[in-house]
Amino acid sequence: MSRVETALEALGIALPEPPAPVAAYVPVRIAGSMAFVSGQVPMQGGVLQATGPVPSQVSPDAAADAARLCVINALAALKAALDGDLDRVEGIVRVGVFVASDAGFAGQPQVADGASQLLVEVLGTAGKHARAALGCIALPLGASVEVELIAALRDASN
């Protein structure tokens, strides 16, 4: 088991099967030593775990949990793209966290911390990343949160 998955297991997290590619895009695109992971929504067992804007329909804390779930889905997608070896992830470069927001909601950073903190719990210092967090009027499928990320990769031959 990779060190990354050992860290996930210590947190009680088992990676799901990654979602099948839909439409004309792919979950992960590798270019040089960077892996671009498509926007992930808080899907678990085929069901969105948080829908609608924050805070009128979903509390900031629940949205932070949803952001964490988006990261779990991103790691599952990365694992599949890296032939099962998450230890090829050298670190996380940039994370975009998009929060379905009511007008006037200013707590996107706390929601985004749900994503950022898990990456650091799992990857340590290498998980520290640049981040942009935004409030969106709506997100795909009605999700409350969407997370995309760029990971830096080690050479496959290492």
The owner of tokens 């775990």 is 49
Minimum distance from residue 117 beta carbon to a copy of itself (Å): 5
> How far, in Å, CA of 25 to CA of 128, rounded?
27
- Choice between 34 and 80, CB closer to a copy of itself: 34
Q: Is 47 in the site for a copy of itself (CB under 8 A)?
A: no
The owner of tokens 């990769």 is 153
Q: Within 119-148, which residues bind a copy of itself (CB under 8 A)? A: 119-120, 127-142, 146, 148
Minimum distance from residue 51 beta carbon to a copy of itself (Å): 8
Task: Tell me the site size for a copy of itself, rule CB under 8 A.
Answer: 60
- Choice between 1 and 130, CB closer to a copy of itself: 130
What is the three-class DSSP state of 31? Answer: strand
Q: Within 84-113, which residues bind a copy of itself (CB under 8 A)? A: 91-96, 98, 100-109, 112-113
Per-residue binder mask for a copy of itself (CB under 8 A), 58-87, x = binder = ------------------------------
What's the full length of the chain, in residues? 158
Per-residue binder mask for a copy of itself (CB under 8 A), 27-46, x = binder = xxx-xxxx-xxxx-------
What is the three-class DSSP state of 68? Answer: helix
**Is there a contact between 114 and 60 (Cβ–Cβ < 8 Å)?**
no
Q: Which two tokens stand for residue 76?
A: 């599952």
**Is there a contact between 38 and 77 (Cβ–Cβ < 8 Å)?**
yes
Minimum distance from residue 78 beta carbon to a copy of itself (Å): 11
> How far, in Å, CA of 2 to CA of 84, rounded?
9
